[in-house]
Structure 1
Amino acid sequence: MPGPFDEKIDGGAYEPAGGASAGAKGSALVTGGTRGIGLATARRLGEAGWRVICVARSAGHLESTVASLRADGISARGLTADLSVAAERQSLAEALQDTVDLRAVVNNAGGAARGGALDTALEDFDAALEIDVRAAWDLGQRLASRLAENAGSIVNVASTVALAVPSGRGLYSSAKGALVAATRSMAIDLARTGVRVNAVAPGPTLTEGLRTFNTDEQLAERATKVPLGRLADPADIADAIEFLCSHRARHITGQVLVVDGGASVAGMYI
């Protein structure tokens, strides 16, 4: 009986893929890889020649995501895991022991916690830190030796709210701010092993989550405040992540790459 994830969910080993996956760079793990920024990242990495391993809680979403990626000529497989649970993170790491070419880990899974300093229960604070910070820290520790064998890298998905705190978003800002600090600490400690650790900090990005909390009119209004004139698309963030995973970023570690169309430079939180 399978454990908390099902490694065979997509039929097991990678399917051969031509085109986009020719000359593969190695395997890349993308958590939260079935929607939004995670899905865009999985697709972008696959197009760049990586073998992609998508992680998500929903087996159904994984099946459809892997099928879609493979239909586009991308080598992909899926692993189910709830990364807010330590035992499932351990099981995920164990399932990756035979992935000898693991070269990139993208910690994208996270929450969209809302709440400020005066109205957030401690259990909600703990839950936000568990998925946004401890999961990335834990996977980094568990997979560090394999990444070191391949001169690999870790990219953590933070947010511009880690750098500028809007009113009422203290919980999310605290979690993402802690992730930025963890990124820098991991970068220093893993540098001697040859593993690079960076983060991207997206501004408001047109994902399902953002659309849930904003009408079309509100999104259009927010876009007018961005110096480049639009909100980010998930593909904008995915391109930045793919760069940080690649050899082109070989001398970059401990950095936070902001992708927000210039909003933070203009002193705006939108």
Structure 2
Amino acid sequence: MMGRSVLVTGGSRGIGKAIALRFAREGATKVAIGYMRSDAAAEETAAELEALGAEPVLVRGNVTSDRVLEQIAELGPLDVFVHNAATGVIRPALETEDKHWDWTLNANARAFLSLSRVIAPSMPIGSSIVAISSLGSIRVLENYALVGTSKAALESLVRYLAVELGLAGIRVNAVSGGVVDTGALDHFPNRDEMLEMGARNAAGRMVLPADLAGVVAFLASPDSDMIRGQTLIVDGGFSLTA
């Protein structure tokens, strides 16, 4: 990872922050983090990146906006692009509205495609794109209809982009996490139940942001050269049992 340039959307907190710091520890020269709201969290992460020897770049705003896409285009060639930013309406399917569908699908799936259109053409051979997904893409989770559907679309895009960008020397894959105790869970009405469920796996503990960061770092390394268009599930074996 020495000397490489990285972008992590949603990189100021939780899983995204763990990924950004992992790249800095492995010698990335520049780590850009996209974030939506908290300047304080972004500045704290930037300070940690700088302390690890990486040049931090903060990109604030909605990843679906033209302004943010223009800012990211100005970052110059990137060696690694990680789309971790995610949002969505957490409700039963029949209690959602069309505007909720548009918001969730745009932020979690369309943004990945829009960003890839901007970033991929200038990526050098050997570069890597990684999308962060979740088990809701393949399993039914309570109140997760829209987000789960958006993550299924995200994983489908990963497969298409892996084929389209493969001969250009760019790997595209996804990492799907189990239940991870981050601020994102605060939006779930059944948060405590999910945390208890997340620890019931073959590993006997919750999945940590660092667990996902390690797998993302692997997918960004030359060791993953023959892994293309795959979704690697990091859930401690939770999804193995009925």
Q: Give the alignment's TM-score, normalised by structure 2.
A: 0.91
Residue by residue, what CA displacement relative to the aligned partner does 1:172-226 show, whole Å, maximum 9, x if unpaired? 1101111011111111111121111100000100112225647896466324522
Work out the CA distance in 2 between the residues paired with 1:61 and 1:172. 24
> AA paired with 2:21?
R
Deviates more, 1:70-79 or 1:234-243: 70-79
Unaligned runs of at least 5 residues, structure 1: 1-22
Q: State the partner residue of 1:170.
A: 145
* Number of equivalenced pairs: 240
- In structure 2, C-alpha distance between the alignment counterparts of 1:73 and 1:217, rounded to whole Å: 38
Aligned twin of 2:234:
259
Q: 1:53 to 1:115 in 2, by over 3 A?
A: same
Contact kept in structure 1, 2:126 and 2:222, CA below 8 Å: no
Matched, 1:29 2:7: yes
- Whichever residue aligns with residue 36 of structure 2, its letter is R
Structure 1 counterpart SS, 2:93:
coil
How far apart are 1:60 and its partner, in Å? 3.6
Matches within 5 A, 1:74-85: 74-85=54-65
Taking the aligned partners of 2:116 and 2:170, their CA distance within structure 1 comes to 10
Contact 1:89–1:135, Cα closer than 8 Å, also in 2: no
Match of 1:184 among 159, 170, 174: 159
2:83 to 81, 102, 107: 107
Gaps of 5+ in 2: none
Name the residue aligned to 2:67.
88
> Once the two structures are aligned, what percentage of the paired residues are identical?
32
Report whether the alignment pairs 1:127 with 2:107.
Answer: no
Other structure's SS at 2:240 match: coil
SS in 2 for 1:61: helix
Change (3 A) 1:212 1:133: closer
- Give the conservation status (yes or no) of the 8 Å contact 2:181–2:195: no
Structure-1 residue corresponding to 2:94:
118
| Maintained 8 Å contact 1:104/1:154 | yes
After TM superposition, give the deviation of residue 253 of structure 1 in Å.
0.9
The amino acid that maps onto 1:73 is: G
For the pair 1:46 / 2:27, whether they are aligned, the reply is no
AA in 1 matched with 2:156: A
Query: Aligned letter for 2:94?
Result: L
C-alpha distance in 2 between matches for 1:218 and 1:127: 26
Q: Structure 1 residues 174 and 70, CA, compared in 2 at 3 Å: closer, same or farther? A: same
How far apart are 1:25 and its partner, in Å?
A: 3.8
Q: 1:13 corresponds to which residue? A: none
The RMSD of aligned alpha carbons is 2.0
**Superimposed CA distance per residue, residues 64-103 of structure 1 (whole angstroms, 9 cap, x where no aligned partner):** 2111221233332222231132x1243123322xx24x10
Counterpart residue number, 2:42: 62
Aligned counterparts of 1:151 and 1:217: Cα–Cα separation in 2: 41
Distance 1:79 1:168, change over 3 A: closer
